[in-house]
Structure formats: structure tokens, C-alpha cells
Amino acid sequence: MNPLIIGVGNRWRGDDGVGPAVVDAIAARGRPDVDVLVLDGEPARLAAAWTGRSRVVIVDAIRTGAAPGTIHRVVGADAVPRSPAGASTHGAGVAAAVALARALEALPEHLVVLGIEPATVGHRDQLSPAVDDAVAEVAGRALEEVTGTCV
């Protein structure tokens, strides 16, 4: 089974759409060796999506108080932020999915969350400039994580 990159977010909520934007950038590269998927952050859907996969990257907007466009890399199931200060813009979605998969003994062998610090999350269909600037870099990093090679 191919490795998987999941973009979590909503394209119509400003920087919350960074996960789908990264997935679009990866899909445009035409990589048949990597599967991509956009999800809304609902824990059961996330956990179901990575079932049977050994390498998974989740891309999401994550608020930590850093400058907009800052890229965060969280490695492994135990490192997923659980506090509001380091939370996904989807509440506990990713952390809850990890907890669910852990309980079901269905965690991927290699799980990484690439989070991008948002500037604005609201009703708009564009990313802020700082977040938009991070999309290509995060797409490259995500591909590197799931394939184990520089791209």
C-alpha cells in the first residue's frame, strides 16, 4: 500500500485550508507512488484513512503562537500536541485520531504531523501570504517524510 499524505482542513476558512492546499501541490507533482487525501479532521475518518499504512503524514494548521507560516514538525504518536496552545484548528481531531488508533493498535509505523501556523481562520477562500509561502516547502517535506528520500 502506498504511503499517505492527509491534508486536514477547510478550503473556505482562510488558513485552515493549508492542508488541502498542500495536498493540491503534491497532486500537481504527479506522484503515483504516494496517495493523497483531504479530510475534515474528524478522528474516526482520520484513523480509518491510515489503516494498513506504514508511512503517514498529516498536514494541518496548528496554533502555537509562533509567527504565521511557521512550520512545525511533530514526530510520533506520543508527540501529538494535546494542549490548546498547540492544537490543530480542528480542536482535538488529530490527537483524538491518534488515541483511537493507539487503542485499536492501528497506528502507522511512521506518523508525522506537519503543522503550519495560521494567520487568519475565518470565512475566506484564500490563504494568507505567509501561509501560502509555506505550501511548497511543506509539500516537499511531506513527500520526503513518506518516501524517505529528498525530493
- Are 92 and 40 in contact by the 8 Å Cβ rule? The answer is no
b/e per residue 119-151 (b: at least 16 CB within 10 A): bebeeeeebbebbbebbeebbbbbbebbeeeee
3-state secondary structure of 119: coil
Question: 18-28 vs 129-147: helix axis angle to the nearest 10?
Answer: 60
pLDDT in tens, 111-129: 999 999 999 888 888 999 9
3-state secondary structure of 36: strand
Q: Which residues contact 39 (CB under 8 A, 6 or more apart)?
A: 6, 7, 8, 45, 46, 49
Grid coordinates in use for 100?
A: 483511537
Report the CATH number of the 4-147 domain.
3.40.50.1450
Q: What is the mean pLDDT, run by run of 10 residues, along the chain of 151 residues?
A: 95 95 96 95 89 94 94 74 46 76 83 94 90 97 88 55
pTM of the predicted model, to two decimals?
A: 0.88
